[in-house]
Amino acid sequence: MSYDACMPSKIYNTPKDTLEGLLFDDMTVAVGGFGLCGIPEQLIVALRDSEVQNLTCVSNNAGVDEWGLGLLLQTKQIKKMMSSYVGENAEFERQFMAKELEIEFCPQGTLAERLRAGGAGIPGFYTKTGVGTVVAEGKESKEFDGEMYILERGIVADVSLVKAWKADEAGNLIYRKTARNFNPMVASSGKITIAEVEEIVPVGTFNPDQVHTPSIFVNRIVLTTSEKRIEQRTTSDS
């Protein structure tokens, strides 16, 4: 029996369609990517166009002023950012300095583990990262083997948006090289996960050892054409 005969299709026609019925004000959205590498760019555009408000966005960074999550900052749809790096976005800086945007800075490895933990059903974990700094303020601390650790909470998003290179019809995902970055952790952390992909292939095409995100984590898939913008273009005279 084929996959199509057993399960409803996860494939949607447009980014707008994939978001249908999932969005609400004050929701938490986790977004894959690092800089502009591996971001679900067309899903972000659709999220902006939905006009949903007061979002808490969990992502390594906030894109740039004209692309990625920077689009949602321009329209002021983001209430809070949970990020580890925000240095490429002038509007982010402006809103932060003007106290228009709530920020939760998180060390990069800790952010990745918080997403992974949320996806694994782990509500919290202890880490040495941030002990004795502002990162530890207001957090529970505990001594293990003579050293102090702080408690970090796992992150579970209402919706996760990821970008993959290929998906099969069941929703198994393969990311391309460094575009994998935060995407696997983000994919596992969502109550609902949507994957924007460059190619969809039949079930059975992938060797199981190739799969980076198993289909159990993926609820919806949409095929898009990536613009692959360059975050910082550097040139020199030949």
The confidence score (pLDDT) of residue 87 equals 76
Pick the closest to residue 28 from 191, 178, 220 (CA basis).
191
Q: For the whole model, what pTM was predicted? A: 0.93
Tell me the pLDDT tens digit for each residue of 65-95: 889 999 999 999 999 999 998 777 889 889 9
Q: Own/partner pairs for 3-6, CB < 8 Å, 24+ apart?
A: 3/169, 3/170, 3/203, 4/169
**Beta bridge mates, 193:** 160
Among residues 231, 175, 172, the alpha carbon closest in space to that of 32 is found at 175
pLDDT-derived band at 144, boundaries 50, 70, 90: very high
Residue 13 CA to its chain's centroid (Å):
21
C-alpha span between 91 and 146 (Å, rounded): 43
SS3 11: strand
Domains of the chain (ranges plus CATH)? 12-121+155-223 (3.40.1080.10)
Of all residues in the chain, the percent with pLDDT exceeding 70 is 97
Lowest pLDDT segment from 18-32, 35-49, 51-65, 81-95: 81-95
User: Is the predicted pLDDT of residue 229 greater than 90, yes or no?
Assistant: no
Work out the mean pLDDT of the chain and round it to a whole number.
Answer: 93
Q: Report the chain's C-alpha Rg in angstroms.
A: 18
pLDDT value of position 63: 87
Is residue 16 over pLDDT 60? yes
- Express as a percent the part of the chain with pLDDT over 90: 84
